[in-house]
C-alpha cells in the first residue's frame, strides 16, 4: 500500500549504478599517457585519491605531478586530453554491459516515481549515451558535469517542491552518499547489483521487495 511517506523522487548515479563502466573509465586514463613505470604510477596514485572527481580535475592533477617530475618536454593541455578521454569513454559507455537489474529497475521506477540522473560525466556526453541506449523517456532530468551532485540534488528538491525525506539517492560512490547526506535525503548504495528490493521497500511496493532483478 502506497502511503504519504513513500519516496516520490529517485536520483540515480550513472556509471557503476546503471552501466558497468567504472573499469572502462579507469583504464582510459592510462591510455592518454606514455606506457612507462613513472606515468602509470602517477595515474594510479591520482585515481586512488580522486576517481570520483571530474575528468578535468583528475587530468589537471596528473599533469601537475608529471610536470613536477619534469616528465613532459611539451606542455600538456587539459582540454585536449579531456577530449581524447571523452572519445575513448563515450564509445565504450554506449556498448558496455548494464549493472545487473538496472534495466528492470528503470522500468519499475519510471512508472512509479519522478526519476533523475546525477553524474560526474559531462552532461552533453551523458545525454548522448542515454539517448543512444534509448533511455531518454525514463528520466525527468539528466544532469552531469560541471554541475555538483549536492547542488543538483538541492535544485531537484526545490524544483519538485517535495520534502527531503521523500527523495532517495541511489549510487555506488562516496559523492552520492555525501550529496544525500548534505540534503537530508535517503541513500541506497550500489554494490555490483542494482539494489532493487531496498528501493522497492522505500516505495512501499511490498510485492516487489523480494524480487531479484
Q: Report pLDDT digits (tens) over 148-204.
A: 999 999 999 999 999 999 999 999 999 999 999 999 999 999 999 999 999 999 888
CATH, domain range 9-20+98-208? 3.40.50.1000
What confidence category does residue 208 fall into, taking pLDDT thresholds of 50, 70 and 90? low
For helices 22-30 and 55-68, what crossing angle results, to 10°? 30
- Which residue ranges make up each domain of the chain? 9-20+98-208, 22-95
> Which backbone phi and psi does 170 adopt, to 5 degrees?
-125, 120
What confidence category does residue 76 fall into, taking pLDDT thresholds of 50, 70 and 90? confident
What confidence category does residue 75 fall into, taking pLDDT thresholds of 50, 70 and 90? confident
What confidence category does residue 213 fall into, taking pLDDT thresholds of 50, 70 and 90? very low
Q: Report pLDDT digits (tens) over 6-32.
A: 899 999 999 999 999 999 999 999 999
User: CA angle 132-114-160, nearest 5°?
Assistant: 120
Assess whether pLDDT exceeds 60 at residue 2. Answer: no
Give the residue-averaged pLDDT of 129-142.
98
Run of H or E including 205:
none
Grid coordinates given for 161: 517542491
**d(C-alpha 213, C-alpha 127), whole Å:** 25
Run of H or E including 63:
helix 55-68
Asked whether the CA dihedral 17, 19, 20, 24 is positive or negative, the reply is negative
pLDDT at position 191: 95
Run of H or E including 147:
none
Indicate the pTM of the whole model. Answer: 0.89
DSSP per-residue codes, 79-146: HHHHHHHHHHHHHHHHHSPBPTTHHHHHHHHHTTSEEEEEEEEEHHHHHHHHHHTT-GGG-SEEEEET
Q: Report pLDDT digits (tens) over 85-108.
A: 999 999 999 999 999 999 999 999
Amino acid at each position: 500500500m502506497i502511503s504519504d511517506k513513500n519516496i516520490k523522487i529517485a536520483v540515480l548515479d550513472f556509471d557503476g549504478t546503471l552501466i558497468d563502466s567504472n573499469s572502462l573509465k579507469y583504464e582510459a586514463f592510462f591510455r592518454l599517457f606514455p606506457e612507462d613505470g613513472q606515468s602509470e604510477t602517477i595515474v594510479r596514485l591520482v585515481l586512488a585519491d580522486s576517481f570520483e572527481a571530474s575528468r578535468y580535475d583528475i587530468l589537471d592533477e596528473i599533469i601537475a605531478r608529471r610536470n613536477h617530475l619534469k616528465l613532459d618536454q611539451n606542455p600538456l593541455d587539459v582540454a585536449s586530453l579531456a577530449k581524447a578521454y571523452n572519445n575513448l569513454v563515450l564509445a565504450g559507455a554506449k556498448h558496455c554491459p548494464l549493472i545487473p537489474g538496472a534495466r528492470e529497475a528503470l522500468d519499475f521506477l519510471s512508472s512509479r516515481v519522478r526519476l533523475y540522473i546525477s553524474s560526474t560525466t559531462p552532461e552533453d556526453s551523458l545525454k548522448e549515451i542515454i539517448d543512444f541506449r534509448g533511455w531518454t523517456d525514463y528520466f525527468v532530468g539528466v544532469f552531469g558535469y560541471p554541475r555538483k551532485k549536492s547542488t543538483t540534488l538541492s535544485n531537484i528538491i526545490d524544483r519538485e517542491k517535495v520534502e527531503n525525506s521523500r527523495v532517495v539517492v541511489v549510487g555506488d560512490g562516496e559523492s552520492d552518499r555525501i550529496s544525500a547526506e548534505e540534503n537530508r535525503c535517503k541513500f541506497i548504495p550500489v554494490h555490483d547489483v542494482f539494489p532493487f528490493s531496498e528501493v522497492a521497500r522505500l516505495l512501499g511496493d511490498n510485492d516487489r521487495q523480494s524480487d531479484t532483478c
